[in-house]
A and B are shown apart, each in its own frame.
Chain A
Amino acid sequence: MKKNSILTVDNLKVNFYTYEGIVEALDGVNLNLMPGETLGVVGETGCGKSVTGLSIMKLVPPPGRIEDGKVVFNIKNRTLNVLELEERILRKIRGRLISMVFQDPRSALNPVYTVGDQIMEVLLHHRRKILIKRIIDRLDEKIKEGKAGFLEKFYKKMLTIMMEDPKSDIIELTSKIPFLRGYKRLLKEEAKKEAINMLRLMRIPDPERVVDMYPHELSGGMAQRVVIAMALACNPEILIADEPTTNLDVTVQLQILYLIKRLREEFSSSIIYITHDMGVIAEMCDRVAVMYAGNIVELADVIELFKNPLHPYTRGLLESIPRPGQPFKSIPGTVPSLINPPKGCRFHERCSYAMEICTREKPKFIEVKKNHFVQCFLYQSKSSKKTR
């Protein structure tokens, strides 16, 4: 286990208990994320990329269940296994330390609330104290200059109480009385300012107007920027981007990719970028994990992977990228059903290098070269390094 990685996924197993049988979606996934880097996770549809992303935040919906494994989050010199934390603490982490950007911005946004409301929601949930502090500082200024009226002094008092104990009785009481509850309005306005700021950072034109619009009034690209704004609002350490550009037009895709690149510098988050597009991987990522049928089959630096793909599946993927003037090459066969997955290595039915042992046992995930991991019997004997 890398000591300085910010996130480590260790032998993650997830099953889905469906009507038609038990779907073994994740079969021991291994990943790690270093601070500041962008890790790509690439694979075909249905290989389990999204489930991995959701599992990291312990958000796998029923009928799914996390059966085994660890998700270790290494922050501020503390290590937390996300899967073992209780819900109360998880709620502090989600949206604040780890955030997610989803594939379809339309369905990710709630149609009955404005875009601003939804960004403000995450701000008010996690950043309440900071926002209140800002208002109090401003009110303090006004009081010092002698420009503050009775109401504003009262608000400051209320906000100070609210900062300490948002559920105190005084707060409950005054929030019901029309005049006195103005301080809540101040809080909302402050949050809204921050939301507008986020929209501006997302390079959305005219953010003051957009903040009051509803999701269905926005184009796909704009909506996706809003979702990214929501995810980055609290400056998380880790951002999980689950195919954020797949549902968008190609030209819009490019814009969003550039945006994410720029935001990477501005926000200094570490990113897990999930996609099925090798081109995006090449453009965006420092390291990449290749996923097939619920397993990570290869993990390496981007350039190393493209120069030197080790796993037969990775080779197949790279060869199948269409090149002008060359005939189409594809990997024969189809992705196996995960209800009754093939024994041994899950790729062996389609692999041109398959050996007898591949049908019986599952290969281990080992470091074959420096920082280049593979899960394949072709390299098993060559390994002299320890397994992860």
Chain B
Amino acid sequence: MGLREYIIRRLLLFIPTILGVIILIFAVSQLFTPEQRASLYVTSEKQLEKIDVIIQTYHLNESIFIQFKEWFWQVLQGNLGYSHIAKQGVLQAMLRKLPATVELVMFSIPLTIILGIYLGVQSAVHRDKLVDHATRTAAIIGWSLPSFWLGIMLIAIFYLALGWFPPERIGSEAYNYITLSGKWHTYTGLYTIDGLLNGQLWITIDALRHLVLPTISLTTIQIALIVRVMRSSMLESLSKGYIVTARAKGLSQAEVINKHARRNALIPTITVSGLLTAGMLTGVTITETVFNIDGIGRWAAWSAGAGGSVPDIPGVLGFAMFAGIVYCIANLIVDILYAYIDPRIRLG
């Protein structure tokens, strides 16, 4: 079959799933009253004053099919409603807050995967020795921690007591420079990279300092997932016949592990990486709230009513749709990677 055909087939499967995501969001939205749903169709605060008009125009009281048509048309045009928390349209709000979240995740995900794979391999190769027990214990502890609690404890220890790593995204000095000085060019929206591009290294370093605790928070909890899968798949891989063959060919233990065992062991790990994305999306919601970072996660938490705010229905639904689509894309990538590494999948 080949990789190309497999990718095409997989893409064809992707589209109905995305449609399903949209339909499910719609179904959940139907649980709200028409008055609550009105803000899904507007783009500004003022328009909300005439709720009856909105209900009329978009047929919010009529049958499901008509409503779906109306709503779907809005979605295709990019109108996901008005978020009173962000004081903006939902789509605009998400785009504006995306960089903060991306910055957080772009360090956490690679760290989790690379460290997780390494620890998993070590754990399997030195089975039942100290490395193994220590890694597994640490992983299980990480997996058992409530993410919000870990965040709070980290802040209490490393910021309030020791003063090393502050929460939030950037210090006030850097923030003033970025917003007020007029010398700042926003290239990517990511302070770490933009700092370099603007030639202001201190801003990059400041941003990195602020990223340490949230990254640790996210990684500690998610790493257990990777370590566990990598360890068990590595153990299975090491017990297979081709390992003996490789050694009989005269390869060293290191070569056998790295060339033969690990590649096979990566297969289930790649699959699990999809779950990692889900964990990150969830973790980001809590972590951004605890660390007070202005990203999509915190906006979603506030939209849901965190901290006593009035629920922002377009916000919640918009974020759910975003999360669903991102997760689908992640699974798509994972499936393709999986086929790339394991020829048995793409060759049927």
Which A residues lie at the B interface, using CB under 8 A?
Answer: 54, 57, 59, 61, 87, 90-96, 99-100, 102, 104, 106-113, 121-122, 125-126, 214, 216-217, 227, 230
Q: Closest residue to A111 on the B side, CB-wise?
A: B344
Interface of chain B: mostly helix, strand, loop or mixed: helix
Q: How far is the CA of A94 from the CA of B252 in the complex (A)?
A: 10
Select the stretch in B47-55, B240-248, B293-301 that faces chain A.
B240-248
Contact residues of B between 242 and 275, Cβ < 8 Å to A: 242, 244-253, 259-260, 263-264, 267
Q: Closest residue to A96 on the B side, CB-wise?
A: B250
Q: Closest residue to A227 on the B side, CB-wise?
A: B245
Is the pair B244, A59 in contact by a Cβ cutoff of 8 Å?
yes
A sample of 17 more A-B contacts (CB under 8 A), given A54-B244, A61-B244, A94-B249, is A57-B248, A59-B247, A92-B250, A93-B250, A94-B248, A94-B250, A95-B248, A95-B250, A96-B250, A106-B241, A108-B241, A110-B246, A111-B242, A111-B342, A122-B249, A122-B250, A125-B250
The smallest beta-carbon distance between A107 and chain B, in angstroms, is 3
User: Which residues from A are CB-within-8-Å of B260?
Assistant: 110
A111-B343, A216-B347, A217-B347 known; A59-B241 Cβ under 8 A: no
Is the pair A112, B264 in contact by a Cβ cutoff of 8 Å?
yes
Q: How far is the CA of A136 from the CA of B247 in the complex (A)?
A: 30
Q: How far is the CA of A57 from the CA of B264 in the complex (A)?
A: 25
A216-B343, A216-B344, A217-B347 known; A109-B249 Cβ under 8 A: no
Interface presence of B13 (CB below 8 A): no
Interface centre among A96, A104, A109, A121 (most CB of B within 10 A): A121
Q: How far is the CA of A96 from the CA of B251 in the complex (A)?
A: 11
Interface presence of B341 (CB below 8 A): yes
Q: How far is the CA of A93 from the CA of B170 in the complex (A)?
A: 60
User: Which residues from A are CB-within-8-Å of B241?
Assistant: 102, 104, 106-108
User: Which residues from A are CB-within-8-Å of B342?
Assistant: 111-112
Could you tell me how many residues of chain B have their Cβ less than 8 Å away from some Cβ of chain A? 23
Q: How far is the CA of A114 from the CA of B347 in the complex (A)?
A: 13
The smallest beta-carbon distance between A227 and chain B, in angstroms, is 8
A-B contact pairs, 29 of them (CB 8 A): A54-B244, A57-B248, A59-B244, A91-B252, A93-B250, A95-B248, A95-B249, A96-B250, A100-B248, A104-B241, A107-B240, A108-B241, A108-B242, A108-B244, A108-B245, A109-B245, A110-B246, A111-B242, A111-B343, A111-B344, A112-B264, A112-B341, A112-B342, A122-B250, A125-B250, A214-B347, A216-B343, A217-B347, A230-B245
Which B residues lie at the A interface, using CB under 8 A?
Answer: 240-242, 244-253, 259-260, 263-264, 267, 341-344, 347
Which 3 A-B pairs have CB atoms at the shortest separation, nearest pair first?
A107-B241, A95-B250, A94-B250
User: Which residues from B are CB-within-8-Å of A99?
Assistant: 248-249
Q: How far is the CA of A91 from the CA of B256 in the complex (A)?
A: 12
Q: Closest residue to B240 on the A side, CB-wise?
A: A107
User: Which residues from B are CB-within-8-Å of A109?
Assistant: 242, 245
User: Which residues from B are CB-within-8-Å of A230?
Assistant: 245, 249
Q: How far is the CA of A229 from the CA of B27 in the complex (A)?
A: 61
Q: Closest residue to A61 on the B side, CB-wise?
A: B244
Is the pair A110, B250 in contact by a Cβ cutoff of 8 Å?
no
User: Which residues from A are CB-within-8-Å of B341?
Assistant: 112
Is the pair A125, B251 in contact by a Cβ cutoff of 8 Å?
yes
Is the pair B264, A91 in contact by a Cβ cutoff of 8 Å?
no
User: Which residues from A are CB-within-8-Å of B263?
Assistant: 110, 112-113
Q: How far is the CA of A113 from the CA of B259 in the complex (A)?
A: 10
Q: How far is the CA of A216 from the CA of B345 in the complex (A)?
A: 11
Q: Closest residue to B253 on the A side, CB-wise?
A: A87
Which residue in B251, B259, B343 is a CB contact (below 8 Å) of A91?
Answer: B251
Q: How far is the CA of A99 from the CA of B248 in the complex (A)?
A: 7
Q: How far is the CA of A54 from the CA of B253 in the complex (A)?
A: 16
User: Which residues from B are CB-within-8-Å of A214?
Assistant: 343-344, 347
Interface centre among B248, B259, B342, B347 (most CB of A within 10 A): B248
The smallest beta-carbon distance between A128 and chain B, in angstroms, is 12
Which residue in A54, A91, A111, A217 is a CB contact (below 8 Å) of B250?
Answer: A91
Q: Closest residue to B237 on the A side, CB-wise?
A: A110
User: Which residues from B are CB-within-8-Å of A54?
Assistant: 244
User: Which residues from B are CB-within-8-Å of A125?
Assistant: 249-251
Q: Closest residue to B266 on the A side, CB-wise?
A: A112
Is the pair B248, A110 in contact by a Cβ cutoff of 8 Å?
no
Q: How far is the CA of A107 from the CA of B251 in the complex (A)?
A: 18
Q: How far is the CA of A61 from the CA of B251 in the complex (A)?
A: 15
Q: How far is the CA of A92 from the CA of B240 in the complex (A)?
A: 23
Q: How far is the CA of A57 from the CA of B244 in the complex (A)?
A: 11
